[in-house]
Structure 1
Amino acid sequence: MKTQDETLEEWCRALLQAFELEGVEVDINEVLALAGVAAHAVVRPAAPLTTFIAGFAAGMASGSGQVPDAESMQAAMGVARALVQDYAGVPQTPEPADTSRTGAAAEPSVEGNPRT
């Protein structure tokens, strides 16, 4: 019998293949952590809604050529996590800016990003 992790990895690969996204890396644990935070801080149904919208935003940013896939996913999940924490009244600690790119902010501009 497969473990839950094995089943999720298999399901993730099947979804990626169905959408012709085989080269996309998905951090399943990070997505599930975001869903958990949304479910507990907002309401349970916020979990799939939050992850869907974060994924959609990441796809739009990547598809427009603004940023690479991994960076857009990281930024979108960061925005969603910050919004969930803000909604729940959890104080946030500022993240250091990424100055490795000339003139660029740590996160790409994502519609609705409170940090841009």
Structure 2
Amino acid sequence: MNVLEEWTALVCKELGIDPARVDRNAVLDLTRDVAHGVARPAAPLTAYLAGLAQGAGTAAPDVLERLSALAREWEKKATPSSGDA
């Protein structure tokens, strides 16, 4: 077991969450997409907000994928194409 797996297991235990319900790779993909496409500080905030929505029962089943797509679109809009210069 690596450090990330150990930490995830410890936090899940502390929070009373079944680790089998955690899609670690999807969360890491989301935070990567937001950090690179929007801003680094937006990554943990977005993950937290997704967790709040999940806990409130208002998150779509594909919330992580949808938020990743939003971040990728944000990056495209913020990055001028070579024809815009």
The TM-score by the shorter chain falls in which range? 0.7 to 0.9
Residue equivalent to 2:36: 40
Greater relative contact order (CA < 8 Å, ≥ 6 in sequence): 2
Residue equivalent to 2:82: none
In the alignment, the residues of structure 2 paired with residue 55 and residue 10 of structure 1 have an alpha-carbon distance, to the nearest angstrom, of 20
The answer on 1:75 being equivalent to 2:65 is no
The answer on 1:50 being equivalent to 2:46 is yes
C-alpha deviation, 1:75, in angstroms: 1.8
TM-score, length basis structure 1? 0.56
Taking structure 1 as reference, are residues 79 and 20 closer, same or farther at Cα in structure 2, changes over 3 Å only? Answer: same
Taking structure 1 as reference, are residues 73 and 15 closer, same or farther at Cα in structure 2, changes over 3 Å only? Answer: farther
In the alignment, structure 2 segments of 5+ residues that lack a partner are 78-85
Whether the 8 Å CA contact 1:31–1:51 is kept in 2: the answer is yes
In the alignment, structure 1 segments of 5+ residues that lack a partner are 65-71, 91-116
1:92-113 deviation per Cα after TM superposition (whole angstroms, max 9, x unaligned):
xxxxxxxxxxxxxxxxxxxxxx
Residue equivalent to 2:26: 30
The answer on 1:85 being equivalent to 2:83 is no
How many residue pairs get aligned? The number is 77
TM-score, length basis structure 2? 0.73
